Amino acid sequence: MTAERWERIKAVFDSALNVMPGSRPSFLENACMGDEGLRAEVSRLLVEFEKTETFLGQPVACLSYSLPTGELIAGRYRVVQLLGRGGMGEVYQVMDELLNEPVALKTLRADLCYDERLLRRFQMEIQLARKVTHPSVCRVFEVGVHRFTGSNRPPLHFFTMQLLLGETLALRIKRHGRLSAEEAFPLIVHMAEGLQAAHAEGIIHRDLRVAM
C-alpha cells in the first residue's frame, strides 16, 4: 500500500468517525466515489474501532505497567492513586508539583504504545477533548510522553485533565435505587448542555459517563 493510498484511507476514516453509525454506509458511498477497495478498507477499520469501544470501555486483559504511588511522571506529576483501568489504559490521581494542585493523569497501556492505529486514536481523543470548553465537560490540560530512565520499559503516553472526584451514576443508582424525576432532571440538563457544547464543535460523543 502506498503512502498516498494510506493517507486517503485515514482521511475518509477520520471523517466517518464524526458521522452517526447509522449514516455511515451512505457517507462512505459518497466519500469513496465508487472506489470499492477504499470503502472496504475504511469499513474494516470502523468495525475494528467499534470492537475496542471507548478508552476505558473494557477491563485490561493484557500487559500493563501500573504506576506505583509516589512515582514522578515527566518531572512534574506525583502519583497518588490509581482511579480506574480499562481496555486501553489507566487513570491516576496525581499531584501537579509545579502548580501544587491535584489533577487526573490518563495513560495509554504500555503494550499498545507501538500500535500506530491505537496511538493515533489516543491522540485523536485528546484533540477532540481540547476543542470543547464547558462547565459540564472535563477539561484537558497537557499531553506528554514520559520515558523511564534506566529501564527497558516502553515510553508512557499520557495526558492530564481536570480531576473529578465522586461516583458514576450507575454506582449512585446501585446504592440508593432509582432516581426521582426531581433528582434526575438537573443531571439530564447538565448532560445535554455538555453534549451540545461537543456538537457545536462538530464532535459526536459515543460514550457518555457521569460522575456525581
The residues annotated with a catalytic role in the active site are 207
* Inter-residue contact 118 to 112 (CB < 8 Å): yes
Q: How far apart are CA 172 and CA 187, in angstroms?
A: 12
- Who contacts 46 (Cβ-Cβ below 8 Å, separation ≥6)? 13, 16, 17, 24
d(CA 65, CA 82): 12
Name the residue with cell 480506574. 84
Helices 116-131 and 36-52, axial angle in degrees (round to 10): 80
Residue 56 · residue 89 · CB < 8 Å? yes
* Euclidean distance between CA atoms 32 and 52, whole angstroms: 24
Q: How many CB atoms lie within 10 A of CB 158?
A: 25
